[in-house]
Amino acid sequence: MTIPRLELCAAELLSKLISKAVSSLNLKIDKTYLYSDSTIVLAWINTSPHLLKIFSNRISRNHELTKDFSWHHVKTSENPADIISRGMTPQQLMETLCGGMVHNFFFK
């Protein structure tokens, strides 16, 4: 499987999880932002499903689940979801989580 297809699978999983979480909260949420570091996947998500024959089912499902949410790009180097895949020591991981990238991403 290619990297863009894996990234599309990740976006699909995020769509399912966030949709379930939001519906389970029983709260009114005004805005929900979803992020991907894959510009290819973001382009696919913003394309009409009938133009993407190979991925049309996944894109349609994504549109259905995230119609009230907005997708945005995050630089790979600033993507908090990729922290664990970077080969860090436990100390580096704690420094990144507590005072570095994650804080900067969510509070800038």
Distance CA 7, CA 105 (A): 20
**Residue-wise pLDDT tens digits, 35-61:** 999 999 999 999 998 898 888 999 999
Distance (Å, whole) CA 15 – CA 51:
21
Closest among 1, 8, 3, 25 to 71, alpha carbons compared: 8
Which pLDDT band, with edges at 50, 70 and 90, does 83 fall under?
Answer: confident
pLDDT at residue 20 above 90? yes
Instruction: Enter the pTM of the model.
Output: 0.77
Q: Name the one residue in this structure whose structure tokens are 């922290």.
A: 83
β-pair partners for 72: 35
Domain count within the chain: 1
For the record, the structure tokens of 77 come out as 């180097």
For residue 56, give its domain range: 4-22+29-106
Report in angstroms the alpha-carbon separations of 63 from 49, 77, 91.
Answer: 9, 27, 40
